[in-house]
Amino acid sequence: MSENDFENTQDAHNSVSIEKSIDYEQLSLENEELHEKVKALTEKVSAAQIENGELKANVLKMTQIIEDHRWEIRRLKNQIEDLTKTPFFIATVMELFDEEVLIKLHGNNQEILTHKAPDFEDILEPGMRVAVNGAAYVIMDILSQSTDVRAQVMELIQSPNVSYDQVGGLGDVIQEVVETVELPLTQPELFKNIGIEPPSGVLLYGSPGTGKTLIAKAVATQANATFIRMSGSDLVQKFVGEGARLVKDIFTMARSKAPAILFIDEIDAVGGTRTFDGTSGSAEVNRTMLQLLAEMDGFDGRGDVKIMAATNRKDLLDPALLRPGRFDRAIEVPMPEEQARLEILHIHTKKMHLGQDVDLAKLAKETAGFSGADLNAVAREAGIFVLRRRGDTVTMKDLADAVKKVKKDGEENRTNAPSDMFA
């Protein structure tokens, strides 16, 4: 073997081992690459997993949103149904027949004969407020017994049993009331013959306890008329939203009870100057007031229902109420003067056993500032003193003590109480 040959062999040998070492490196390189790839893929997988989780959460969210939308759609569908279906109307039961019932729709006053639903057959009564379906006017529900509500704002006395001689010291007022209220009721032809129109409504105004209610009751008694009293403050305070309807109801009822005197007490609560300030309270008063005006306008002064009203504050009344055709006669019921006080004291002590020493004239002199109601209280208190000592005679001392007591009680409520009496 030559030197060259050896070198060649050596070269060959070398090249083989080099080749072998290149392979190894290549492999480890590839291995590393693969590792990298695996690593990248693993990362991708976990990224994908995260994404998947997010997507799943999104899907869940979407499902929820879809569900919400479905719910909203259902709600809107119901609303559309409610809005498009025929509404319920409110009506009042007028008359009951064997099979049918006559109702009167509120609002347009249309009278409708409808069937009695078996559910309500035995409960229905004239005057009840019911809800009827707008298509067939079938009674669907009973809302309230309006007669019940009416009873709470209204007092009806067939005959109040008060005579004019139970009213003391108001001769002039009574005369005026006779001419404007009693005679038009009892002898309407008088007015017709002379050709004058009696006033539509008469307003009594004056301080508390001066006998306004008493006079109204006395006229009703004298004219053989039903006395219907409604309270203005109850109308607007107790039955918010019902005031106007109640006014209408009560006027309707008054007509059905004719001859009648409809007495609106505390009319200032309803007919105070209309200062519409946008609150629901004042809107309520306004609606009630407008209804009252409308009812008054529909009245004939010569009819057999007379309207009287009372207030402590005429100055607060809306001038619209005092216009012709409404309360076009205002009569002042004054606080009693000495002579009137004496008359009132006589009236309220008439059934009492008075002692020899009792001097009603002296009491009348010393009770300046007392109203009729105060004097009534004096008689009552004196009676209680007698009762307390099991006596049977009212003495001057009883009456004087009673005056002191009434005065003291009054001072607790009144600021303008008379002072230094019986000091």
Ligand X SMILES: Nc1ncnc2c1ncn2[C@@H]1O[C@H](COP(=O)(O)OP(=O)(O)OP(=O)(O)O)[C@@H](O)[C@H]1O
Residues contributing to the site for ligand X (CB under 6 A):
167-170, 208-214, 310, 312, 344, 347, 372-373, 376
> Which entry of Mg ion, ligand X, none binds 208, CB below 5 to 8 A by partner kind?
ligand X
- Residue of minimal CB distance from Mg ion? 213
Residue range at the interface with Mg ion (CB under 5 A); choices 87-95, 209-217, 224-232, 300-308: 209-217
Note whether 239 and 230 are within 8 A (CB). no
Q: How far is the CB of 409 from Mg ion (least distance, A)?
A: 19
Give, as one character, the DSSP assignment of residue 327: S
> Which entry of Mg ion, ligand X, none binds 394, CB below 5 to 8 A by partner kind?
none
Interacting residues with Mg ion between 259 and 288 (CB under 5 A): none
> Which entry of ligand X, Mg ion, none binds 168, CB below 5 to 8 A by partner kind?
ligand X
In terms of CB distance, is 31 or 163 closer to ligand X? 163
Note whether 154 and 229 are within 8 A (CB). yes
In terms of CB distance, is 221 or 376 closer to ligand X? 376
Residue 213 binds Mg ion, judged by CB under 5 A? yes
In terms of CB distance, is 89 or 205 closer to ligand X? 205
In terms of CB distance, is 222 or 376 closer to ligand X? 376
In terms of CB distance, is 184 or 209 closer to ligand X? 209
Distances, alpha carbon 239 to alpha carbons 242, 244, 288, in Å = 5, 10, 11
Alpha helices in 169-242 (DSSP H): 171-177, 183-186, 188-194, 212-222, 232-237
Q: How far is the CB of 74 from ligand X (least distance, A)?
A: 58
Note whether 92 and 127 are within 8 A (CB). yes
Cα 370 off chain centre by: 35
> Which entry of Mg ion, ligand X, none binds 286, CB below 5 to 8 A by partner kind?
none
Answer positive or negative: Cα dihedral of 24, 28, 33, 38: positive
E runs forming strands in 29-161: 88-96, 100-105, 111-115, 128-133, 139-145, 154-157
Q: How far is the CB of 214 from Mg ion (least distance, A)?
A: 8
The Cα 68–Cα 8 span in angstroms is 87
Residue range at the interface with Mg ion (CB under 5 A); choices 163-171, 210-218, 285-293, 358-366: 210-218
DSSP secondary structure, 163-187, as one string: -GGGS-S-HHHHHHHIIIIIHHHH-
Q: How far is the CB of 231 from Mg ion (least distance, A)?
A: 9
In terms of CB distance, is 30 or 332 closer to ligand X? 332
Q: What is the dihedral of CA 418, 419, 421, 423, to 10 degrees?
A: 160
**How many residues of this chain bind Mg ion (CB under 5 A)?**
2
Note whether 284 and 250 are within 8 A (CB). no
Which residues are at the interface with Mg ion (CB under 5 A)?
212-213
